[in-house]
Each structure stands twice: as structure tokens, then as C-alpha cells.
Amino acid sequence: MTLRTFIKTSTVLASFAIPLVMAVSGSAFADTAPAPADIKKHGTTPGAKYEPSLDVMKNETLEQPGAKEGVPILTKAQFDRANEIYFQRCAGCHGVLRKGATGKALTTDLTKELGFDYLRDFITYGSPGGMPNWGTSGDMTKEDIALMSNYLLNEPAVPPEFGMDKAMASWKTHVPVDKRPTKKMNNLNLDNIFSVTLRDSGEIALISGDTKKIISVIKTGYAVHISRTSASGRYLFTIGRDAKIDLIDLWMDPPTKVAEVKVGSEARSVETSKMKGWEDKYAIAGAYWPPQYVIMDGETLEPKKIVSTRGMTYDTQEYHPEPRVAAIVASHYRPEFVVNIKETGHILLVDYSDIKNLKVTDIEAERFLHDGGFDSTGRYFLVAANARDKLAIVDTKEGKLVDVIESGGVKPHPGRGANLIHPKFGPVWTTSHLGDETISMIGTDPEKHPDQAWKVVQTLDGQGGGSLFVKSHPKSGHLYVDTPLNPEAEISSSIAVFKIADMAKEEPEYTVLPIGEWSGITEGVRRVVQGEFNVAGDEIWFSVWNGKDQESAIVVVDDKTLKLKEVIKDKRLITPTGKFNVFNTRNDVY
């Protein structure tokens, strides 16, 4: 640092020394802090905790915006530290560019108006509206809170774009198509392989559903999020939070990574073309940053087309600079991908039959679209607009919106949802909620049950809030509901199971499966997450998700008897979360 910048920095910091010192000493909270009686209301809910953490962006080297008069100048080290915190803890809600998403905008016109003290207290205590209480929860130190309050008075850092030049530079072919086998070379029962996310080791484990043995552990992107399988069942795609896609050829002996590519800096979703005649032809991935989706060759991952999702909110028609791409599914009725744009609330039907002359049907749905899945016929797609407590339904055959309905609870989070035949209401699709114990069932059969179609026909009370995934199977008589984010250890480490045959009763009861206890693991929080059926539909697998340095496991339950069938343990099973059965994933069976 030159002498000149040192003097400038220390002078400006000196002018903020009073608030900084007071924040650190904790004595200046009186004017804007909530009354002691209200502090409890500011406690963070499971829903508020489940917001994107842009873990990868925090590692980007960002240019520090120039200082403005009257604003505290941060040193390079302070700026880097503040960026790290911002992307990890704040950007998920307030946006990379601080223009607001589920959380409020934090642009400097607003933050300067609010001032240092207000920002510091808001970060410390949170708000009943959903802002986490970073200070009183002990998650952030007073020094970091003071730093962040100063950081927010500065202009936001703008992370780099990611265009075709970068995508091409990241594209690697490990095994070219002409060097791959022309038939299956191994003795594996591919349909019953589970691809298991090993979240914190940046790997997936391929586990045989027949033998329950690990076939191989494959290095993937950072904090890999989901796996999807190609329509033929030959290829497996994984996406890391660092937007890296890995393509695994399941025909090889052993299954091997054949290509990889990056589609941005942060991403969560990947899917492949499933329409008859287009099997395995294309893949698509959606990014959180930059806000864009990328269409690739399905066998090589060669990036073909990048489309930005920046644009207008569907309702107020105001420009949003960073609408992230949430769930993507592939239509079975048309050569189309169904792409959900989170902050602006559009559902895009992207026609991949001619990507040079790309046709996109743009459906006005609801803001904050997140995750969803098909009804049992594969025709209707239901997606949660979770921060709006709504569900949007799209008819993928007709290519239009059916309806947007209240989900019946607080913050719906279906995963892909669960389809079952209700004894009274016929085919229903089910979602649980992050914000409360409600499990909602929505009628999905407009032909034979028109009165129930697209209505919440019944709600059940589960164990509590903090649920992420529900699961059933056409051959199962049960509905399984997890609660991994519930604050009660007993609830987060167990599963509630409802008997479908009992659902016509006034108040159907559930059985609790103590999966965490069954795992035999005695350390850690033992969060039990995401059930997934095997190909036969007679057993369901749950992850017992512990810390990175602790023991985790997969627990297999017999669907008929609800008894423990097997515990899969292996020191390579580090933080297992999502599990994707090849057959069920490619055929959308859930």
C-alpha cells in the first residue's frame, strides 16, 4: 500500500471509528435494536436458513469499486473478507448485485439512507420478516457485522460474466464418442444404480441397488447438487454448485467420466432431452450466476447455446438483473425443456428442435420458483414458488399455464413431489413445507376427477416444519416425509410415514421411523434427508447426513413392513444427501 492510500484509508476509517468501536463493544445497539421482549421473534426459522449460499462466488477475485466521498474505505483485505461473507451468507436473498431477491435491495441509495447503526443492528438481530439474526445467533462476530455494515455503504462488487469463450475453455473431453463402447461393457444392473451426492467431498457414489455395494466414487464439481440420467439410461449428469457438469458413461467398465464443462460460476440444475426421437441428444443446465441457461450436446457436453434470463418480472414488469435458473425438467410431450426462472416468475418452454432458431414459450407464473416435478402421467408439471406459498401448474402437452394456487402451507418444498392414488380423491401430487408441518395433496386428474383437479384436496399434519422432500412410488402404499431442517433433533433425524389407504380417514396418523437411530451412528445431528425408491419400488433409501468429519450412512427401509432392511456405511460416504435411482430419475417416477 502506498503512503498516500494508507493516509486516505486511515482518515476515512477514523471518521467511522466511533460506530465501529461501539459495534464491537456492543454498547450502541439501543437506538435501533428490538426491545428485549421482541428479540425471540427475530430468531431464524428453518425456511430463512434454507437460502442459497453462493459458496463458489465467494472465491472469485473481484475488483473493488472506487471509493465515494463520505463512505468508509475498506482495505483490500477487508473488502475480500466482506465479499466472502456477503456471497456465503447474504447474496442468496439480497442478490449478487444487491438489487434484492427474497430479501430487500441493498443498493447504496438505500443503505446510505439507513446508515451504519441501522445496518449493524439489522444484521445482528435479524427481523421477524425472515432476515436471520446473524449476531445474536452467534453465526457472525461483532467485528464482521461492523465490517459488513461498512461494506454495504460501498458500491457492490460485480462478478464476471461467463460467455461462450469461457464455456468452451472449460470443456474437456476425457473419452471421445468414437472411443466409447457401442454396447454395455459391465455386468451392472444400470436401472437399479443409485447416484448419491457426497455433498462436501465434491463427489458422487454410484451404489448398486441390488448388492448395496459402492461401485465407484467419482470426482465431480464442488458441492455437487443433483444427478439426472439421460433418456436411454446410459449417461449420468451431475452438476456442482460451481456450475461444473460431469458426464458419466454407465456403459463403460467401470462407469467413467467422459466429459465435463462449466456453464457459469454458480448453478443448481441440469436435465437432458427426453422427447421420443431426441433421447440423449441435448443437455441443459441453469445457472444462478450469471443468470443464464446453456444448451449442450447430450453426448459430449459441447456448449451450443447460452441464453441470458435477465429481464422483466412477470407481474410488475420491472427489470431484474439476475433472475436465477431454478428447476429444469424435460417434457415428454414436446421437444421442450421446462425452465423455471426464480426471481422474475417466468416458466420458459424452450423448444430444442431447432436451437439455431430458438422458440421459447414464456409463461407468466409466480415469483420465486424453486423446485417441482410431474404428476403421475408426466403431462402436468407442478412447481413451488416457495417464498410466495404458491404452486404453479403447467400443461406440457398444450404448452400453457393451468393455474397458480395457494400451496396450503408455508414455504412449499416438494423436491419433485410425490404422486399417489388417494382413496377418495384419485391421483394427487403431494408437497410438504419448510415453514410448517403441512403436507398438501393436489388433485391432478382433470378428466376423471374434475372437481378436485388443481385444488388442495387434503392437508395432513406431519412432524413439523423444516421438511424438504416427500416420496412415494406407484407400487408403494406409503407416503414418506422428511424434516431434516427441523430444529428438534428427534424430528430432523426421523421420517414420518403415512399409509395411503388411511388417507380417507378424518385425521390420518403417521408412523415415525427413527432412521438416525437405526443407522447406529451416535455422533452429530444425523439429519435424515430425501427418500428415493429402488427400481422395484419395494424399498426406500434415506441419507443420514452428518458433518464432513463425522460418520454418515444410507439407511434402507422395507416399504411393505416399514422395517430396517440395511445400513450402508463406508468411510467414503461423506455427507450423502440426494440419491437418484437411474430408472426412476429417467422415467420421472416419484
Residues known to be catalytic: 90, 93-94, 131, 370, 413
- Regarding 203 and contact with ligand DHE (CB under 6 A), the answer is no
User: Residues 16, 50, 237, 289: which binds ligand DHE (CB under 6 A)?
Assistant: 50
Give CA torsion, residues 397, 401, 402, 405, to 10 deg: 140
Instruction: Report the length, in residues, of the chain.
Output: 590
User: Residues 217, 226, 434, 442: which binds ligand DHE (CB under 6 A)?
Assistant: 226
User: Residues 45, 124, 220, 269: which binds ligand DHE (CB under 6 A)?
Assistant: 269
User: Residues 167, 468, 513, 553: which binds ligand DHE (CB under 6 A)?
Assistant: 468
* Distance in angstroms (rounded) separating the CA atoms of residues 136 and 124: 6
User: Residues 192, 467, 476, 530: which binds ligand DHE (CB under 6 A)?
Assistant: 530
Please state the closest distance from residue 532 (CB atom) to ligand DHE, in A. 7
194: cell is: 443409485
Q: How many CB atoms lie within 10 A of CB 413?
A: 26
Cα angle for residues 203, 291, 246 (degrees, 5° grid): 25
- Regarding 334 and contact with ligand DHE (CB under 6 A), the answer is no
User: Residues 19, 34, 42, 53: which binds ligand DHE (CB under 6 A)?
Assistant: 53
- Regarding 370 and contact with ligand DHE (CB under 6 A), the answer is yes
User: Residues 95, 291, 415, 516: which binds ligand DHE (CB under 6 A)?
Assistant: 415
- Regarding 272 and contact with ligand DHE (CB under 6 A), the answer is no
Q: How many CB atoms lie within 10 A of CB 569?
A: 16
Segment near ligand DHE (CB under 6 A); pick from 82-90, 140-148, 321-329, 557-565: 321-329
DSSP conformation letters of 436-482: SSEEEEEE--TTT-TTTBTSEEEEEE-S-S----EE--TT-SEEEEE
Segment near ligand DHE (CB under 6 A); pick from 48-56, 169-177, 301-309, 553-561: 48-56
Nearer to ligand DHE, 104 or 225 (CB): 225
* Distance in angstroms (rounded) separating the CA atoms of residues 373 and 217: 28
- Regarding 156 and contact with ligand DHE (CB under 6 A), the answer is no
Q: Which helix (H) or strand (E) holds 269?
A: strand 266-272
Please state the closest distance from residue 269 (CB atom) to ligand DHE, in A. 3
Orientation of helix 142-153 relative to helix 108-125, angle to 10°: 170
Nearer to ligand DHE, 196 or 275 (CB): 196
At 481, phi and psi to the nearest 5?
Answer: -130, 120
- Regarding 306 and contact with ligand DHE (CB under 6 A), the answer is no
Residues 543-582 that bind ligand DHE (CB under 6 A): 577-578
- Regarding 526 and contact with ligand DHE (CB under 6 A), the answer is no
- Give the largest CA-CA distance in the chain: 79
Please give the residue whose beta carbon sits closest to ligand DHE in the complex.
Answer: 578
**Which letter does DSSP use for residue 16 in this model?**
T
Nearer to ligand DHE, 74 or 327 (CB): 327
Specify whether the CB–CB gap between 307 and 346 falls below 8 A.
no
* Distance in angstroms (rounded) separating the CA atoms of residues 310 and 265: 16
Q: Which residues bind ligand DHE (CB under 6 A)?
A: 50-53, 197, 199, 225-226, 268-269, 326-328, 370-371, 415-416, 468, 529-530, 577-578
